[in-house]
Amino acid sequence: MNQVNAKTIIVDYDMGNLFSVEHACNKVGLPVAISSDPKEILNAPALILPGVGAFADAMQNLMKFNLVEVIRDFAASGKPLMGICLGMQLLFTESEEFGHTKGLGIIDGRVTKFPKISPTGKHLPIPQINWNQIIKPESDSDAWENSPLFQNENGDYMYFIHSFYTIPERQSDILTLTNYEGFEYCSAIHRENVFALQFHPEKSGEKGILIYRSFRDMVMERVHN
């Protein structure tokens, strides 16, 4: 396959909002294809792992399509991988959703449910379904600028819908934080070629589309180099 003409693959494992992600990619001019074919995935210049639904069901589907090792191998290849919502959570070691389920183990850490009460004593509606801000951690150095958020601003509002959140073991993996009624959690991660978001950029207006545009630029730069 000619790498210059190759398409970024949106992984199809019967658990994702595939067409809204495809539409966002088309809008910014990122050539994409929807596929569950391991060969196509491994040959792609970049990968997008979307997801909506339960963690255990998603992992079961990934195993059914023989994609667990494929996605792990892709992440190890150094090529850009973007996870969205459940797709971000699947990258982690394990989840506590409906029991204990092992994840892809690409990012060290776990997935757990929002507490019912925030540290400030406020009741947390679960799931969180609203617009909320993404905030640069105080410890952040150049991580934001070296990620697909580099064209976004600290404090941009994005669209969230989720009941579970991630706890990375490495602080350096945390790209953004979000405050939900006084409860602060990790809302995006970035480690080398792996970039993932708890929110839905394709549903977040122009600020979200900007992320897809930046991801496109990073993919195309890698392809042409």
The pLDDT assigned to 2 comes to 47
User: pLDDT by residue for the chain (225 residues), tens digit each?
Assistant: 445 458 999 999 999 789 999 999 999 999 999 999 999 999 999 999 999 999 999 999 999 999 999 999 999 999 999 999 999 999 999 999 888 999 999 999 999 999 999 888 989 999 999 999 999 998 766 889 999 999 999 999 999 999 999 999 999 999 999 999 999 999 999 999 999 999 999 999 999 999 999 999 999 988 776
Domain parsing of the chain, residue ranges: 8-224
DSSP state of 115: P
Helices (H), the chain: 18-28, 38-43, 55-64, 68-76, 86-89, 205-224
Residues annotated catalytic, as ranges: 85, 200, 202
Q: Are 135 and 175 a contacting pair, CB within 8 Å?
A: no
How many Å apart are CA 153 and CA 207, to the nearest integer? 9
The pLDDT assigned to 200 comes to 97
**CATH dotted code for 8-224:** 3.40.50.880
Burial (CB count <10 Å: 0-12, 13-18, 19+), residue 103: buried
The pLDDT assigned to 140 comes to 65
How many Å apart are CA 153 and CA 144, to the nearest integer? 9
The pLDDT assigned to 97 comes to 87
Question: pTM score, two decimals?
Answer: 0.95
How many Å apart are CA 158 and CA 32, to the nearest integer? 23
The pLDDT assigned to 98 comes to 82
- The alpha carbon of 27 is separated from its chain's Cα centroid by a whole number of angstroms, namely 19
Q: Are 219 and 4 a contacting pair, CB within 8 Å?
A: no
